[in-house]
Amino acid sequence: MYQIYPRSFKDSDSDGIGDLKGIISKLDYIKSLGVDVIWLNPIYSSPNDDNGYDVSDYRNIMKDFGTMEDFDALLKGMHERGLKLVMDLVVNHSSDEHEWFKQSRSSRTNPYRNYYHWWDAERGKPAYRYSLFDVNHDAWKYDSLTNAYYLHYFSRKQPDLNWENPKLRQEIYGIMKFWADKGIDGFRLDAFQFAAKDTTFPAFPAGFEKNFVQYYAMGPHLHNYLQEMNSGVLSKYDVMSVAEGAGNTFEDAHDLVDADRHELNMAYAFEGVDIANDPKGYSLLHFKEVFSKWDSVFAEKGWLSIFLANHDQARMVTRFGNDNPEFRDVSSKMLTTFILTMRGTPYYYNGDELGMTNIRFDKIDDYRDMSTLNEYQYQKNTGGDLKQFMEKIKFSCRDNGRTPFQWDSSNAGFTNGTPWIKVNPNYKTLNEAAQKKDQNSCLNYFRKIIALRKKYDVLVYGKYTLLDKSNPDVYAYTRELDGKKLLVLLNFKSVPASVSIGIDLSKAKVLINNYSTASNGGALKPYEAIIFEL
């Protein structure tokens, strides 16, 4: 699964914003990678408070991105090349500029009132709900027009839809059918674990009001809604489905995707991607433990997504590898090897195939992400340490992963206009044009390892066994299926490291390696990755 952030991929009309025609112009490139499916971040009409995650018309295309004709051409172009399309479905909330919300807020008796969550002010202030994006961290916004509060877990311009209302649910299924009838191949359900709510809005235990996953996810009827969605829409089309997030427990995750429950196809859990949140580094032992645990829980039943990045994260190589020019390529290839050799469906974020890195803005004005700007304001208003905050976001802000795709050495080849967010200055040397000519580039390594995964079913379905578990530097595991056995060795450190696996490698064949010659298996070079066939 190759994820495209349309705003930053390729601009065709010089307005500085990526668009559908831009993606169309790069379909041959995408095909050349060997990926099978494209997940597009939202492309529906939107005032862009949250870059398309605030939809004002679910049956239309965002003006910045083009027209419905462009969309049809894009889908056709993908299908002609054997590529599938997964659309982002943002239905935990809409934009406050959606017609439903305009109606809903206009009066207490409007037929759309119950499409959203309102709390009449004469009942007093509702129990506190945390908002991830609000400048005051408050998810209830008072609206004087009808003397009531409305709920928004994300920004004020993203009011939460009321899934408890059957009419709203039918509207959403209608929207899904509209796109499925067009022939798309799947849905990624944005923030869906938060959709179902206890509409009595009880107070959460003191001190836990901000525990978002534990108290806000997997509300009372969530599974019923998914089963209803499955029987009404998903089961009627040849589409795949994945929800963002997998609840709070393994049981939640299983319940979302066990085939006999008829809900979704694939779990997308955050525990792995959340590990690298400290610029000082992370523990490989922890990393191994998390990925091994998730693999074992899904070994017999259910199916996982494997990923280390997406549009809500800073760059993979900066967070999990080492973006110092000395180690950038090799650590990026090592991480790519990890993603492509685990059991589950690999999700790969555009630009990571080049080893794109964090931009590390110095000034708050360079950031575009509304949630970051609001948090900056919150810190300012509450006397927070702004210097510390600025340092933190250099490492972790999602805008680092949203800088324009680096196509070539001319203004990155992304746009002829002024890009909506600054281009990473390393585009002059780090770009697709340069890498395509270099057989040893990250880009060509990505192509090779995808081809390898397609050739070896064992990499997709094979049993996973962790070796040398307590090794703090090297991640070693085997994959086995129908008599085939592969060994994966990954040095996660910038210094040579040894590994003790108790396997005779004298007859083993190296299938891929991220250096020009592979080590013999006992000692690994910095960030070395090797796959052996045993």
Residue 174: CB minimum distance to ligand NOJ, A? 21
Nearest distance from C-beta of residue 371 to ligand NOJ, angstroms: 7
| Angle between the N-to-C axes of helices 328-340 and 442-455, in degrees from 0 to 180, rounded to the nearest 10 | 20
241: CB partners within 8 A, 6+ apart: 186, 187, 188, 189, 230, 234, 264, 265, 266
DSSP 261-294: G-S-SBB---TTTTS---TT---HHHHHHHHHHH
Q: How far is the CB of 501 from ligand NOJ (least distance, A)?
A: 38
- Contact between 244 and ligand NOJ by CB under 6 A: the answer reads yes
The reply on whether position 53 binds ligand NOJ by CB under 6 A is yes
CA 90/CA 41 separation, integer angstroms: 10
How many whole angstroms separate alpha carbon 287 and alpha carbon 292?
Answer: 8
Smallest separation (angstroms) from ligand NOJ to the CB of 520: 43
What is the C-alpha to C-alpha distance for residues 257 and 32, in angstroms, rounded to an integer?
Answer: 31
Complex with ligand NOJ: residue 70 or 190, whichever CB lies closer? 190
In this structure, the strands spanning 2-4 and 37-40 are parallel
Q: Which of 92/331 has CB closer to ligand NOJ?
A: 92
Of 354, 342, 348, 336, nearest to 513 (Cα)? 336
Total residues at interface with ligand NOJ (CB under 6 A): 9
In this complex, which beta carbon is closest to ligand NOJ, that of residue 133 or of residue 445? Answer: 133
Site string for ligand NOJ, 261-300 (x = CB under 6 A): ----------------------------------------
Q: How far apart are CA 52 and CA 17, in angstroms?
A: 13
Do residues 511 and 452 make contact, with C-beta atoms less than 8 angstroms apart? yes
Encode 391-408: b = buried (16+ Cβ within 10 Å), e = exposed: ebbbbbbbbbbbbbbbbe
Give me 135's structure tokens: 């400048």
How far apart are the C-alpha atoms of 446 and 333, rounded to whole Å?
A: 7
Q: Which is nearer to ligand NOJ, 2 or 492 (CB)?
A: 2
* 47 contacts: CB under 8 Å, gap ≥ 6: 54, 56, 95, 97, 157
Q: Which of 191, 234, 243, 518 binds ligand NOJ (CB under 6 A)?
A: 191
317 binding ligand NOJ? (CB under 6 A): no
Q: Which of residues 17 and 90 has its CB atom nearest to ligand NOJ in the complex?
A: 90
Q: How far is the CB of 467 from ligand NOJ (least distance, A)?
A: 34
Q: Residue 56 in contact with residue 97, Cβ under 8 Å?
A: yes
Q: From the candidates 11, 50, 88, 190, give the one annotated as an active-site residue.
A: 190
CB nearer ligand NOJ, residue 372 or residue 415:
372
258 binds ligand NOJ (CB under 6 A): no
- Best CA proximity match to 272, nearest among 254, 251, 298, 245: 245
CB of 188 to ligand NOJ, least distance (A): 9
In the sheet that holds 118-120, the strands lie side by side as 118-120, 148-151, 140-143
Choose, from 134, 160, 244, 295, the residue flagged as catalytic.
Answer: 244
Q: Rounded to an integer, what distance in angstroms lies between the CA atom of residue 346 and that of residue 348?
A: 6
**Residue 103 DSSP SS3:** helix
| Residue located via tokens 């003191």 | 206
The pair of structure tokens assigned to 168 is 């709203």
- Distance, in Å, from the CA atom of 207 to the CA atom of 344, rounded to the nearest integer, reads 36
What pairs with residue 533 in β-bridges?
486, 509
Instruction: Quote the least distance from Cβ 494 to ligand NOJ, whole Å.
Output: 31
**Are the C-beta atoms of 248 and 218 separated by less than 8 Å?**
yes
Q: What is the closest distance, in whole angstroms, from the C-beta atom of residue 402 to ligand NOJ in the complex?
A: 10
**Of 154 and 456, which has the nearer Cβ to ligand NOJ?**
154
Within 13 A of 127's CA, how many CA atoms are on the CB side?
A: 13
Cβ at position 140, least distance to ligand NOJ in Å: 17
- Which run of H or of E encompasses 176? helix 166-182
Contact between 312 and ligand NOJ per CB under 6 A:
yes
> Which is closer to ligand NOJ, CB of 152 or CB of 485?
152
244 is catalytic: yes
Residue 90: CB minimum distance to ligand NOJ, A: 5
Name which position in 190, 263, 295, 375 contacts ligand NOJ (CB under 6 A).
190
Interface positions, 407-466, toward ligand NOJ (CB under 6 A): none
Q: Measured between alpha carbons, how far is 326 from 18 in angstroms, rounded to an integer?
A: 31
Question: Is 154 or 414 the residue whose CB approaches ligand NOJ more closely?
Answer: 154
Residue type, 167: K
Nearer to ligand NOJ, 64 or 244 (CB): 244
Site membership for ligand NOJ, residue 154 (CB under 6 A): yes
Q: Which residues bind ligand NOJ (CB under 6 A)?
A: 50, 53, 90, 154, 190-191, 244, 311-312
Residues classed as catalytic: 190, 244
